[in-house]
Amino acid sequence: MSIPFLDLTRQYARIRQEVEESVLRVMESGVYIGGEEVSLFEEEAASYSSVSHGISLSSGTDALLVSLMALGVGVSLSNAKALLEAWLGKRSGFVRTPKYGAGDAMYAANRRDDAKAKRKRNLLPYLELAFGVYMACCTVYTIVNPGCIMAGPFFATFAVGFFYVSILTLRTRRAEATDLAGHAPAAAGDRAGEP
């Protein structure tokens, strides 16, 4: 006797009329993304779950991704580290991620300048770049192996996030170094015409 892995035919037989009516309403409306049917589903899901709001997504992978993004995981290694430290109850200083305001006065004032902190700060964008490469390889793997295709968008989003943060950090540091080099005080012998 063969037992099917997932047999939804009996479940479908019980709800067939409701499903067909819903599909027909969607087809007749021409609204295939969002729309009244999705809103009704979200309301019913929220009511069933005893919560005030429900949000539908296209897949379970998207649901995991939205949850992780809400927690800040995958944007940068600093954010992921902070989240893990919070879960473990370890107190640590907040590390500002280099987004729009990287290199501003508050960021500069809050950063430690000891040798260990400088090494760590210099290594972090390269580690994030490495994680971006790793996630890009995982994305390619999911494309090449059809059984893993659902994880592709998840890995691709993390790859883009790690690449974005690491490249932005490296560009900002390069611009700061160039700016500092351009504003460095000239040596006494370089000042032509000055006494």
Q: Using 50, 70 and 90 to split pLDDT, how confident is the model at 20? A: very high
Does residue 106 carry a pLDDT above 50? Answer: no
Domain boundaries, the chain: 15-55, 57-182
pLDDT band at 38 (very low <50, low <70, confident <90, very high): confident
CB 57 within 8 A of CB 69: no
Which long-range contacts does 71-75 make (Cβ < 8 Å, 24+ apart)?
74/157, 74/158, 74/161, 74/162, 75/161, 75/165
| Beta carbons of 66 and 57 less than 8 angstroms apart | yes
Percent share of the chain, pLDDT over 90: 14
- Sign of torsion over alpha carbons 104, 107, 109, 111: negative
For residue 54, the model assigns a pLDDT of 84
Distance CA 133, CA 161 (A): 11
CB atoms within 10 A of CB 82: 19
Q: What is the pLDDT of residues 68-85, one digit of tens each?
A: 666 655 556 666 666 567
pLDDT at 188: 47
Specify the DSSP element, H or E, that contains 43: helix 35-49
Per-residue model confidence (pLDDT) at position 190: 47
